[in-house]
RNA sequence: GCCGGAGUGGCGGAAUGGUAGACGCAGCGGACUCAAAAUCCGCCGGGCCUUGGGUCUGUGGGGGUUCGAGUCCCCCCUCCGGCACCA
């Protein structure tokens, strides 16, 4: 079957009058996809004798069909993999599915299909789609996180964390998404209090939940960002901000008339002499006791209840009104012995630091606003170098550096000295301790959902929390129907919940929460090294050969989600001796979004373009080429059907170039004619063009990661070949070199068409196994260059001269030009700057 | 508010401090055709000079460094992203 696209007369009837095969991408793409599969071209093995390259794209959630974002992600990954393969690396390029998650349950509710069936159907469909893109995956290594063979090891890793004190249960106020009917980790609450997945407003609930101790790794996660030069600065910065390290002093304020003291944390211990009050978060444990002892307990209780009723965002919005209530109790400043009132206030967060602060109204804007509102005194202990602060009249806190005052022995010290000196002093006299605080919270991993990996523990009446023994893994997810309303059916599945304690044999209940799906994706890159092993999550020799991932590609939206979690898992597994790598991803490329009509493609905007349709209409090669050409990979890409047509047109031109060559081309010798053997200048120019294309395309892909300019270079080569009319055997030999170079260099971008044309030139083997051509170095040096003559910095003449002239000779040659002499006639020359192979700038008077 | 990134033709985008606008899209003119599509050739930032050619101007705005600035420095404007009462 021959399908002719977009025009009725086949291309073959035009051109040189000789009929030839039209570019039938459908036939070509199918043919080569089949060829690669049958010949196991992309199957790769661990081979310590060869240098490895691990190229990985973030695996997709099997939502049903690929979208343009996927197509972009996987086009980039495939280009790199194929290129590096040609460069001689042993390339691991696997693909899998992040297959647990809520949408499967939503689909179950909507369409009445079981999450398992829905997910597996989607996986099969999307695998077909990925194959139709022509991606060079080693499909034997496909992993699906919802497969028991996989989640068995997710559970195993959870138990490993538990055994090592990195997983624990805690009763705490946690983020709850009503719409998703589950709790969420801090990282998954975005845009000021909204669920990362569904966008609903998140509320707080007090629940007992499982946490992973990621904060134990906070410092290392922060420090080793410095060892990731291959990561975009932006992502590293986002992670730094997210981890949020701050250095300060922890100090206790004894409560007057009570046995207890209040713990506080401050980054500005230098303002200790300026403390005029203490403030507690409404949730602070001491509040309850103060309420009990205070005559105005009811009033305080009322304030706390009212505050807690408000949503998180309402309470924590910048510039939001600060409210509070004086408890009537006093705390004693451990440095001055001064008694200051203890307040309860809405702007103090229980999650950060100790949930209590020392209030320094003179030097903290928030404290200032609060103090002014309630008539609390303002103390000044730092004076700016210019001006003089008056606590009575100042209208805002002074948060900058200055000179210490009203601070005992420290008066007169500049801030940069007083901060470290006073902190050290606090330790010396035993009132405080230097401490580091992080914004990063422990990772809440329990999810009240069905479609996830069960947390492998039971609750035994006698033994308490009991982990499932390793040899009993996996704890299989029972095949049950999801419940209307979205509640997890697991707690209701009595025959599954009721079990026996693996330790004492007595009655026990299973944990009915499943794990956050980000757990599943925190180690999949390790599993790819030996996905078939049933003995362990991954084999040491394999994982240590392949890890770390040399190039990771995905969206920036995972900067503070997956990319932090995966680093955490890698560090833990490394510390426990399972993998040598300390970091999972050596180089990270964050691709931009695919935009249409000014905004991200989305169903609600109705601006979605279906990858399947594009592939059907233009072919995978065209789709890939357009995506790689239209924008640099890290920038947003504007979808343009016209642009797609342009890419298609280019491929048709390449096709015609080869077909029109006919027998003359097919029979031309496969020989590289050295530059020096080419007599004519224009032949040498073409030779140079051919060779420099190899160099610049290689550099753009490998070093610059600028695939759009690489494509531009290939188009230039194609244009040059198209302009060239071979006349004799030497010409045809050169032409063949050009064509074959074009096909080789273009093949990582558009593999199918290149394979087909390569074969039509009667070449042996396939391009997927070919070697990237070596550059003939002498061709990179230009023979002649256009020298620009500038007068006072303005371009005046352009002169073609031999390359490599020294600046003296260059000046001489330029000045001997008639046009130049004319132009400079009668001018007083002040200075001449000559830049070899570039320009001559003449500075004249007037 | 703080921290990033970016502003270049009609559009997507190129330019180690050295010819601004590569490559592509759109547009315009022409060839082929009965015609259209496809294909091929030519033009394509703006202004002025009667055309060839020349000349001025032009990379968000304003200053500066330099023989020379889209690129480096300072100030400002706009847009996008992240964080946001984190003590």
Closest nucleotide (C1' vs CA) to A360 is B87
- ipTM metric: 0.95
Q: Is the CB of A780 under 7 A from strand B?
A: no
Closest nucleotide (C1' vs CA) to A706 is B14
A275 within 8 A of A335, measured Cβ to Cβ: no
Q: Which two tokens stand for residue A177?
A: 């998404």
Which chain A residues 429-458 have CB under 7 A to strand B? 437, 439
Beta bridge partners of A324: A345
Average pLDDT over residues A116-120: 97
Check residue A796 and report its DSSP letter: E
Q: Would you say residue A317 has pLDDT above 80?
A: no
pLDDT for the residue A12: 37
Q: Can you tell me the distance from the alpha carbon of A340 to that of A333, in angstroms, rounded to the nearest whole number?
A: 7
Distance A846 CA to B49 C1' (A): 23
Residue A716 phi, psi dihedral angles, 5° rounding: -65, -40
Closest nucleotide (C1' vs CA) to A632 is B13
A407 within 8 A of A417, measured Cβ to Cβ: no
Q: Is the CB of A349 under 7 A from strand B?
A: yes
pLDDT confidence bin for A20, thresholds 50/70/90: low
Closest nucleotide (C1' vs CA) to A600 is B80
Give a three-class secondary structure readout of A280-322.
ECCCCHHHHHHHHHCCCHHHHHHHHHHHHHCCHHHHHCCCCCC
pLDDT for the residue A386: 77
Average pLDDT over residues A325-341: 94
Distance A796 CA to B51 C1' (A): 22
Average pLDDT over residues A462-472: 95
Residue A388 phi, psi dihedral angles, 5° rounding: -140, 125
Task: Collapse the DSSP code of A77 into the 3-class scheme (helix H, G, I; strand E, B; otherwise coil) and give the result.
Answer: helix
Distance A792 CA to B53 C1' (A): 22
A784-844 folds as Ubiquitin-like (UB roll) (3.10.20)
pLDDT for the residue A5: 33
- Give DSSP secondary structure letters for A753-775: HHHHHHHHTT-SS-GGGPPPPPP
pLDDT confidence bin for A9, thresholds 50/70/90: very low
Check residue A370 and report its DSSP letter: H
Q: Is the CB of A14 under 7 A from strand B?
A: yes
Cis peptide bond prior to A187, omega within 30° of 0: no
Closest nucleotide (C1' vs CA) to A797 is B19
Alpha helices in A700-795 (DSSP H): 707-723, 729-746, 751-760
Residue nearest to nucleotide B37 (CA to C1'): A7
Q: Which residue is listed with tokens 């297959």?
A: A99
Distance A844 CA to B75 C1' (A): 33
Q: Is the CB of A4 under 7 A from strand B?
A: no
The predicted-structure confidence for A407-448, as pLDDT tens digits, reads as follows: 999 999 998 889 989 999 999 999 899 999 898 999 999 999
The predicted-structure confidence for A80-98, as pLDDT tens digits, reads as follows: 999 999 999 999 999 999 9
Distance A791 CA to B19 C1' (A): 13
Which chain A residues 641-700 have CB under 7 A to strand B? 642-643, 645-647, 649-650, 652-653
Closest CA to A536 of A525, A527, A545, A528: A527
pLDDT for the residue A618: 95
Check residue A489 and report its DSSP letter: S
The predicted-structure confidence for A746-800, as pLDDT tens digits, reads as follows: 999 999 999 999 999 999 889 998 999 999 999 998 888 999 999 988 898 888 8
Which sign, positive or negative, has the C-alpha torsion A233, A235, A240, A244? positive
Closest nucleotide (C1' vs CA) to A268 is B87
Q: Would you say residue A845 has pLDDT above 90?
A: no
Which chain A residues 704-723 have CB under 7 A to strand B? 704, 706, 708-709, 711-712, 715-716, 719, 722-723
Average pLDDT over residues A689-695: 96
Q: Which of A23-27, A162-166, A189-193 has the lowest mean pLDDT?
A: A189-193
Closest CA to A61 of A535, A668, A694, A562: A562
Closest CA to A792 of A822, A819, A830, A818: A830
Closest nucleotide (C1' vs CA) to A648 is B24
Which chain A residues 218-237 have CB under 7 A to strand B? 233-234, 237
Residue nearest to nucleotide B56 (CA to C1'): A794
Q: Would you say residue A565 has pLDDT above 80?
A: yes
The rounded mean pLDDT for chain A is: 91
| Helix H or strand E encompassing A422 | helix A415-428
Q: Is the CB of A578 under 7 A from strand B?
A: no
Cis peptide bond prior to A353, omega within 30° of 0: no
Beta bridge partners of A797: A789
Residue A799 phi, psi dihedral angles, 5° rounding: -125, 130
How are strands ordered across the β-sheet holding A245-254?
A: A261-266, A245-254, A432-438
For Cα atoms A622, A628, A631, give the angle at the middle one, nearest 5 degrees: 125
Distance A230 CA to B42 C1' (A): 46
Residue nearest to nucleotide B5 (CA to C1'): A234
Residue nearest to nucleotide B81 (CA to C1'): A234
Q: What is the CATH number of domain A635-780?
A: 1.10.730.10
Q: Which two tokens stand for residue A211?
A: 């946490």
pLDDT for the residue A10: 35
Percent of chain A whose pLDDT exceeds 70: 97
The predicted-structure confidence for A211-266, as pLDDT tens digits, reads as follows: 999 999 999 999 999 999 999 989 999 999 999 999 899 999 999 989 999 999 99
Task: Collapse the DSSP code of A730 into the 3-class scheme (helix H, G, I; strand E, B; otherwise coil) and give the result.
Answer: helix
Distance A8 CA to B35 C1' (A): 15
Bridging pattern class, strands A189-190 and A194-195: antiparallel
Q: Can you tell me the distance from the alpha carbon of A627 to that of A299, in angstroms, rounded to the nearest whole number?
A: 63
Q: Which two tokens stand for residue A627?
A: 């995506």
Closest CA to A314 of A201, A417, A475: A201
The predicted-structure confidence for A474-517, as pLDDT tens digits, reads as follows: 999 999 998 888 889 999 999 999 999 999 999 999 999 999 99
Distance A575 CA to B76 C1' (A): 51
pLDDT for the residue A8: 32
Q: Is the CB of A803 under 7 A from strand B?
A: no
Q: Is the CB of A88 under 7 A from strand B?
A: no
Chain B: nucleotides below 7 Å from protein CB are 1, 3-5, 11-16, 18-20, 22-26, 36-41, 55-57, 67-69, 81-87
A611-618 vs A641-666: helix axis angle to the nearest 10? 30
Q: Which two tokens stand for residue A633?
A: 């990979």
Closest nucleotide (C1' vs CA) to A796 is B19
- Give DSSP secondary structure letters for A340-365: EEEEEETT--TTSTTSEEEE-TTT-H
Closest nucleotide (C1' vs CA) to A790 is B68
Q: Which of A483-492, A536-545, A600-609 has the lowest mean pLDDT?
A: A600-609
- Give DSSP secondary structure letters for A570-620: HHHHHHTTS-S-S-SBSBEEEEPPEEETTEE--TTTT----HHHHHHHH-H
Closest nucleotide (C1' vs CA) to A643 is B25
Q: In which region does residue A837 sit, left (phi positive, over 0), alpha (psi from -120 to 50) or beta (all else)? A: left
**First vs last C-alpha separation in chain A:** 75
b/e sequence A233-243, b meaning 16+ C-beta within 10 Å? eebbebbeebb
Q: Would you say residue A1 has pLDDT above 50?
A: no
| Helix H or strand E encompassing A221 | helix A218-223
Distance A398 CA to B84 C1' (A): 20
Q: For residue A339, with 0-12 CB atoms within 10 Å meaning exposed, 13-18 middle and 19 or more buried, which class applies?
A: middle
Q: Is the CB of A192 under 7 A from strand B?
A: yes
Sorted by sequence, the CB contacts under 8 Å of residue A492 that are 6+ apart come out as A483
| Helix H or strand E encompassing A655 | helix A641-666
How are strands ordered across the β-sheet holding A167-177?
A: A182-184, A167-177, A202-212, A443-444
A802 within 8 A of A808, measured Cβ to Cβ: no
Q: Can you tell me the distance from the alpha carbon of A209 to that of A525, in angstroms, rounded to the nearest whole number?
A: 27
- Domain boundaries in chain A? 153-213+442-518, 245-438, 635-780, 784-844
Task: Collapse the DSSP code of A552 into the 3-class scheme (helix H, G, I; strand E, B; otherwise coil) and give the result.
Answer: strand
Instruction: Decide yes or no: CATH 3.90.740.10 for domain A245-438.
Output: yes
């Amino acid at each position: 079957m021959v399908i002719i696209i977009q025009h009725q007369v086949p291309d073959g009837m035009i051109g040189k009058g000789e009929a030839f095969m039209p570019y039938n991408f459908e036939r070509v793409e199918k043919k080569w996809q089949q060829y690669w599969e049958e010949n196991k071209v992309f199957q790769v093995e661990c081979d310590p004798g060869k240098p490895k390259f691990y190229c990985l794209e973030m695996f997709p959630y099997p939502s049903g069909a690929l979208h343009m974002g996927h197509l972009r992600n996987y086009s980039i990954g495939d280009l790199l993999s194929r290129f590096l393969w040609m460069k001689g690396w042993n390339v691991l390029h696997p693909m899998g599915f992040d297959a647990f998650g809520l949408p499967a349950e939503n689909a179950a509710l909507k369409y009445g299909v079981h999450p398992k069936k829905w997910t597996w159907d989607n996986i099969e469909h999307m695998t077909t789609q990925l194959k139709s893109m022509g991606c060079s995956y080693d499909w034997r290594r496909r992993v699906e996180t919802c497969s028991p063979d996989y989640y068995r090891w997710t559970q195993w890793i959870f138990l490993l964390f538990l055994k090592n004190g990195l997983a624990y249960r805690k009763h705490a106020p946690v983020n709850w998404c009503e719409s998703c009917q589950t709790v969420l980790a801090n990282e998954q609450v975005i845009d000021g209090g909204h669920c990362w997945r569904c966008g609903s407003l998140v509320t707080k609930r007090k629940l007992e939940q499982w946490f992973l101790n990621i904060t134990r790794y906070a410092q290392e996660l922060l420090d080793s960002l410095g060892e990731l030069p291959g990561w975009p600065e932006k992502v590293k910065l986002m992670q730094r901000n997210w981890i949020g390290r701050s250095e300060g002093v922890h100090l206790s304020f004894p409560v007057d008339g009570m046995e207890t003291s209040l713990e506080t944390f401050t980054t500005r211990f230098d303002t200790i002499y300026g403390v005029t009050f203490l403030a507690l978060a409404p949730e602070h444990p001491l509040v309850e006791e103060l309420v009990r002892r205070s005559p105005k307990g009811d009033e305080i209780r009322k304030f706390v209840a009212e505050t807690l009723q408000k949503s998180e965002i309402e309470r924590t919005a910048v510039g939001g009104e600060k409210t509070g209530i004086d408890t009537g109790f006093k705390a004693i400043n451990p440095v001055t012995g001064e008694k200051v009132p203890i307040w309860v206030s809405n702007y103090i967060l229980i999650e950060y630091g100790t949930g209590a602060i020392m209030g320094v109204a003179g030097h903290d804007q928030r404290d200032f606003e609060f103090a002014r509102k309630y008539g609390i005194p303002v103390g000044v202990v730092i004076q700016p170098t210019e001006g003089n602060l008056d606590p009575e009249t100042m209208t805002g806190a002074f948060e900058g550096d200055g000179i210490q005052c009203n601070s005992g022995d420290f008066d007169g010290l500049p801030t940069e000295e007083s901060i470290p000196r006073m902190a050290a002093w606090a330790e010396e006299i035993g009132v405080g301790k230097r401490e580091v605080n992080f914004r990063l919270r422990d990772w809440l991993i329990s999810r009240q959902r069905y479609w996830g990996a069960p947390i492998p523990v039971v609750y035994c009446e006698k033994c308490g929390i009991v982990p499932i023994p390793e040899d009993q893994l996996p704890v299989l997810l029972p095949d049950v129907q999801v419940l209307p309303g979205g509640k997890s059916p697991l707690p209701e599945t009595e025959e599954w919940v009721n079990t026996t304690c693996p330790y004492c044999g007595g009655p026990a209940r299973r944990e009915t929460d499943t794990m956050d799906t980000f757990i599943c994706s925190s180690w999949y890159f390790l599993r790819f090294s030996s996905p078939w092993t049933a003995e362990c999550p991954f084999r040491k020799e394999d994982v240590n050969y392949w890890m770390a991932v040399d190039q990771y590609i995905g969206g920036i939206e995972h900067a503070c989600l997956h990319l932090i979690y995966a680093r955490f898992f890698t560090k833990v597994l490394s510390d426990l001796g399972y993998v040598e790598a300390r970091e999972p991803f050596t180089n990270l490329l964050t691709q931009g979004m695919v935009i249409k009509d000014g905004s991200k493609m989305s169903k609600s905007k109705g601006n979605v373009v279906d990858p399947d349709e594009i592939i059907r209409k233009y072919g995978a090669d065209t789709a890939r080429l357009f995506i790689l050409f239209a924008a640099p990979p890290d920038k947003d890409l504007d979808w343009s059907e016209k642009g797609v047509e342009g890419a298609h047109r280019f491929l048709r031109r390449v096709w015609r170039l080869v077909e029109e060559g006919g027998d003359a081309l097919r029979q031309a010798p496969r020989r590289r004619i050295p530059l020096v053997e080419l007599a004519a200048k224009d032949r040498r120019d073409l030779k140079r063009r051919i060779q420099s294309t190899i160099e610049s395309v290689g550099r753009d892909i490998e070093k610059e990661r600028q695939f759009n300019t690489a494509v531009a270079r290939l188009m230039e080569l194609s244009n040059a070949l198209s302009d060239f009319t071979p006349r004799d055997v030497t010409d045809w030999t050169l032409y063949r070199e050009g064509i074959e170079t074009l096909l080789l260099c273009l093949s990582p971008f558009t593999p199918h068409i290149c394979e087909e044309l390569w074969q039509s030139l009667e070449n042996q083997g396939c391009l997927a196994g070919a070697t990237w051509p070596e550059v003939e170095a002498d061709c990179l040096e230009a023979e002649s260059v256009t020298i620009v003559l500038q007068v006072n910095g303005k371009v005046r003449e352009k002169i073609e001269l031999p390359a490599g002239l020294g600046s003296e000779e260059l000046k001489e040659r330029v000045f001997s030009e008639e046009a130049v002499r004319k132009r400079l006639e009668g001018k007083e020359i002040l200075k001449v700057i000559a830049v070899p192979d570039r320009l001559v700038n003449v500075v004249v008077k007037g």
